[in-house]
Structure 1
């Protein structure tokens, strides 16, 4: 499921039975019960449930409306979820709950009462796979066990097809021997949870604002947790089966709401989320340069680079935070800006994204979503939309993009070439990334800013935080502020801050080390006070040491009386091996952590909540467009946990868990659409990380369901080939590249619309590998096939496929020239120039650089065929274009 897709809406049925008035004087009137039931059913209607309310039924006619409701939903509901509610009086007779109706005279007479058994039967006969039963009466708990037994009996008779799961949950307002207070406490609590979500200071991952829906079990647990302490009776619940999503999450953020990535917010704050205060300090020179650059609103790219922990995310986060109105207000409430503090201004940033795990296409979709633009078919389509004008295009677009070095494997170059280069000619792009070698390189060890300048065709503006002269002073001030906020005496705070700042050299982790070292000092203060500390001994020696110390001395998970000493490390390590921009919970994160435990421990949702509450300072919550996903806060934690001795072969174990869970959620791969979206979307990434065994696991899936998983295997093989080729292992890349092309060819025979573009791309990659291994003739044959396919695709859909055709023609010309067909190369590159010239007329920002490249190649071909005057004219045009792009 893509970044822009949303989960399906809930469609369910609800039956509410309420008895407010009674003929017998034995039972007092329950004033307001009918109004309460109606309001609750209206609330359910707003959340996708069709509702039926049965008011004050009598014993001889209560069964008909209930049966009609069940039969109707069974016929029309498509097995959608059902909620059944009963509100009224209940009587306990020989440990059996008897539900009183309007004309009940003698509760001991079976013919004058209803029962929890019959209510459970009604719910089960509705055909719903997910059923929640609520009984709000005196002695309601006596109906829990019979209801569950009836449900189990019904479920045992149902043989659900693959991909469907049954769940039955029941919650009663009180225990069997208790009388419930008037007022419908259970229904009120249920309505409040549906309307507002849980009231708790602790994090509950199921209720993340990024999750669109929650399960019936999640709602039950919230009701139980928030039961009013002053109420003299306690609810009772039971359930069986596998719960699925059942209710809309009231905490879900509106899809159109601007979303500042939490990675940036935390970094800007310079402290863990639960550490009161905003402590960002310094970096005024770099921030001043950025704000001046933004104020000018001239298109271009500003790169903020530096070593790990140098504060790149903090700088970008400061800009994004001061732009977002809500976060800006929070910053100013804690620490007003001074005249010396650079300020980009409110609403100065249009898009703020962290690029971890993004492919170039996923990034294009994410940017389009935040700009309220149509989902682009290609990165070039996004550029065209931006060039035409986005909804707020009265001013220059500003994008803050952090973590280019954390993009999906081998995607940094395509991201820059296909998106950032053209966007930087239309908008202001503020980019954060480590200054590390960038493939493909022009020369060994080429720095990132030089590579960006080469690809963009202009000199990218850059700031290297490792070169900042005020770094030590800025770190010292940051640490001092945090320690003073924890009431450490000024002298001690100054001493500790000076020591941290001296140790936090660029090679030792800079600001990241400072943050963690300060965390360590604060933990020690909380445990033992500030008296008599040897600060040189108290401060950790490195990021790794601080991280290890925190995990070893921090909270330990206890569950059902047992201690789980490695819970924090297992759960965090699972995230270190996540794919995309993070891993969801909902069984996925739990399964990955369980696979890493090594001693058979199985982690569940409650363990995820524990980890996020106790160690949330190391975790960032984001969204994949349909659900909350989680990733580690910094790459240093990823590196540390991946290489920890306790988790050898972690990539394989996590990949194994992903594949096993995928098979389990899809009934052994027979109903693939029922799997959590992450499992399919990140399958290739996990397989590649796991190496040859990862590829073998995907082959296992193809053996189970070849038609379903052949595309996944083709994707994995293609990614493996690209990675091997970029690593210089071109001979090894040849076999997976060839197999990927063969698979896509077979897929395209049955579904050309879906797979011909993939086949052309895989052939293009195969030709590159063949050429790199010296097999020029094979490369020529392969790239010629790719050109033929893309030519046919471009005839049917020029906008989507002409750019790719031009690229393949460019490669074909190179192969023709290499194999001695210089006239053929001239003809081919001339066609590529013609296509790119036409494209550049309608979308110059995206295609002028490519046109200049093709003109350069055309000039070479003209010179090789003896047309030196033509070559001079062509290279002159190319040079003029490069000059234009460099302005």
Structure 2
């Protein structure tokens, strides 16, 4: 409602409505049902429009009223075009809306999956919604599967825009790993983002979830800063170009996506030649934590898609690929973080086109997989990364990967630390329990990824230049060049360089000449200390960040979901006295601490964990923060 005869116009109502429609269309495939009545939006025309809507009852509905309203604390009214200057007792009352909702329910109730969401954003909306709910629930065979959201209290003016902002932040809290959204969860998400409000929900837990419109049709595993760059990159591609991003035969996972991959030419060619020249066996890619094993394997994965390589190279995210580094597409790609032996068997079976095993026992299912792959007698190329982060790394190495790599037609490329005792900041160890579990068969080769200072410097330079291009860093070419060289000299691994760049972008004062000593001191720390520096910086201004990060440090398996407020509940349970954690705090954390948080998927929904096991260990050795 933007035009009134006796009230101030609300031109912003039209803009808000258009923005809300756009959000629903872009995220949830919503379709606008246009206003069909001619002339001003009088009480009569509104009733006719509502009646037209109620006569259908054959689809899900979102009804939104934006405009003037009032309440005396006991009852409430909404103004139409001709409503007198005193809205009380003369505007549209809750009973009028209730009658139309009930009429629509009489047609909708037979369709078990259909639902209704009604939003009122106006002064007095909270009381209006309470009265509306009371009217509905007193009806015979009262309507079900609806939610009423009132945005606006009784004792203050309500500027329009709060619902649109809440809807945007709620929808943006989902990622491409969320295949669908439960309607009741979306309503709960909105409730937590609107104040003052009144939200009344009835029976939405039984309706089918809403399928999301996603930029990526399958899950992704990546640090959040990388995920943001990925979405920005894909958003600039055509639909056909975007289709090249997902190799058709790689299942649901892509491992750790890493931009700005540089160097490692010898290692890339070694992996490519091994895949090209061997019919079976195992190639183990190992090295110290943070050395870039996942980045190397992620790059190898990218090289299996020539169209994607071309797109990334043109965008400046990837060095042009030598033809000798190209590889054939993988048949199965599995990021092993948090998965069990049984999980891995099922994923490999699905990738090979095999039906699931009849027996659930781990030992039986492994034997079944080996037998079926042997009988299948078709080439099967597997990429398995982050073995050391699996729930059962030794068992997976010895019983699954080692066994299938011994088959005549199976090739396995696996990324792992040599030992479960290794860590970025731990002293060297002679232990090689994971390599021992994988075995030393004649068909097994080991590729060790060592420190590469020149590549680290180039990598840092690319990231700093990208930050400058995005106007996140104010630095001259000479400053970027000297800083990149210093990072290459001091940084032990790619992981450390990436975190240092993020910290410099967050604290640009470190680039001032008088802070040179502090910058050098920062570069001479270890991963855990650098992490603690970042966390202390973040929590100084956002106390809620500490329990949110600590909850991630406790995350089992692949991580913690946001759905059903699980992450918020965990964080509030361990928060310091006086600290209250909200969904808005998570929104802020996912931006401020993006490089330290890994986005992953499990059971069709987003889960989050700390991006490296080293960060988990920091909470045990250096925390609490």
TM-score by length of 2: 0.67
Choose between structure 1 and 2: higher helix proportion: 1
Deviations 1:66-86 (A, max 9, x none): 79979x99xxx9xxx974637
Deviations 1:585-628 (A, max 9, x none): 12111122222213253322222111111111111111112211
CA contact (8 A) 1:171 1:238 kept: yes
Match of 1:547 in 2: 531
1:240: Cα distance to partner? Answer: 4.2
- Return the index of the structure with the highest Cα Rg: 1
Superposition RMSD in Å:
5.7
- CA distance, structure 2, for counterparts of residue 373 and residue 473 of structure 1: 45
Q: Residues 116-155 of structure 1: matches in 2 within 5 Å? A: 116-120=94-98, 123=101, 132-134=117-119, 141=123, 144-151=126-133
Deviations 1:444-480 (A, max 9, x none): 94543343125xx5442111224x6xx2333233334
Match status 1:448 vs 2:437: no
Which among 456, 462, 481 is matched to residue 475 of structure 1? 456
Deviations 1:59-116 (A, max 9, x none): 89979x979979x99xxx9xxx974637799998999536879xx9999999999633
Match of 1:765 in 2: none
Match status 1:421 vs 2:403: yes
CA contact (8 A) 1:353 1:402 kept: yes
Specify whether residues 92 and 472 from structure 1 end up closer, same or farther in structure 2 by C-alpha distance, changes over 3 A only: closer
Match status 1:580 vs 2:562: no
- CA distance, structure 2, for counterparts of residue 358 and residue 179 of structure 1: 48
Q: Residues 13-412 of structure 1: matches in 2 within 5 Å? A: 83=61, 85=63, 97=77, 115-120=93-98, 123=101, 132-134=117-119, 141=123, 144-151=126-133, 168-170=148-150, 198=168, 204-213=172-181, 215=183, 218=186, 238-240=198-200, 248-252=210-214, 257=217, 259-262=219-222, 266=226, 278-296=259-277, 298-324=279-305, 325-326=307-308, 329-334=311-316, 337-338=319-320, 343-345=325-327, 348-369=329-350, 374-377=355-358, 378-383=365-370, 396-408=379-391, 410-412=392-394
SS in 1 for 2:570: helix
Deviations 1:237-276 (A, max 9, x none): 642469868862533467xx46553269959x99x999xx
Match status 1:571 vs 2:548: yes
Match of 1:725 in 2: none
1:289: Cα distance to partner? Answer: 0.5
Ranges in structure 2 where 5+ consecutive residues have no aligned partner? 2-13, 235-257, 359-364, 422-429, 469-473
Specify whether residues 374 and 261 from structure 1 end up closer, same or farther in structure 2 by C-alpha distance, changes over 3 A only: farther
Which among 419, 422, 431 is matched to residue 436 of structure 1? 419
CA contact (8 A) 1:544 1:640 kept: yes
User: How many residue pairs align between the two structures?
Assistant: 537
CA contact (8 A) 1:91 1:107 kept: no
CA contact (8 A) 1:435 1:448 kept: yes
Match of 1:751 in 2: none
Q: Residues 635-714 of structure 1: matches in 2 within 5 Å? A: 635-646=613-624
- CA distance, structure 2, for counterparts of residue 261 and residue 548 of structure 1: 24
- CA distance, structure 2, for counterparts of residue 121 and residue 284 of structure 1: 71
1:305: Cα distance to partner? Answer: 1.1
1:326: Cα distance to partner? Answer: 4.5
Specify whether residues 146 and 492 from structure 1 end up closer, same or farther in structure 2 by C-alpha distance, changes over 3 A only: closer
CA contact (8 A) 1:212 1:252 kept: no
Match of 1:796 in 2: none
Specify whether residues 88 and 447 from structure 1 end up closer, same or farther in structure 2 by C-alpha distance, changes over 3 A only: closer
1:123: Cα distance to partner? Answer: 4.6
CA contact (8 A) 1:578 1:631 kept: yes
- CA distance, structure 2, for counterparts of residue 484 and residue 84 of structure 1: 45
Match status 1:634 vs 2:612: yes
Ranges in structure 1 where 5+ consecutive residues have no aligned partner? 1-17, 19-31, 226-234, 439-443, 558-563, 648-887
- CA distance, structure 2, for counterparts of residue 349 and residue 265 of structure 1: 26
SS in 2 for 1:610: helix
Specify whether residues 432 and 273 from structure 1 end up closer, same or farther in structure 2 by C-alpha distance, changes over 3 A only: farther
Specify whether residues 286 and 133 from structure 1 end up closer, same or farther in structure 2 by C-alpha distance, changes over 3 A only: same
Match status 1:460 vs 2:440: no
Deviations 1:18-65 (A, max 9, x none): 9xxxxxxxxxxxxx9xxx9xx99x989x9799x9x99899989979x9
CA contact (8 A) 1:556 1:568 kept: no
Match of 1:591 in 2: 569
- CA distance, structure 2, for counterparts of residue 530 and residue 341 of structure 1: 44
- CA distance, structure 1, for counterparts of residue 296 and residue 100 of structure 2: 60
CA contact (8 A) 1:281 1:477 kept: yes
Match of 2:581 in 1: 603
**Higher relative contact order structure (alpha carbons within 8 Å, sequence separation ≥ 6):** 2
Match of 2:427 in 1: none
Match of 1:880 in 2: none
Specify whether residues 414 and 599 from structure 1 end up closer, same or farther in structure 2 by C-alpha distance, changes over 3 A only: same
TM-score by length of 1: 0.49
Specify whether residues 107 and 538 from structure 1 end up closer, same or farther in structure 2 by C-alpha distance, changes over 3 A only: closer
Deviations 1:661-696 (A, max 9, x none): xxxxxxxxxxxxxxxxxxxxxxxxxxxxxxxxxxxx
- CA distance, structure 2, for counterparts of residue 418 and residue 284 of structure 1: 30
Specify whether residues 617 and 337 from structure 1 end up closer, same or farther in structure 2 by C-alpha distance, changes over 3 A only: closer
Match of 1:691 in 2: none
Specify whether residues 43 and 258 from structure 1 end up closer, same or farther in structure 2 by C-alpha distance, changes over 3 A only: closer
1:314: Cα distance to partner? Answer: 1.5
Match of 2:590 in 1: 612
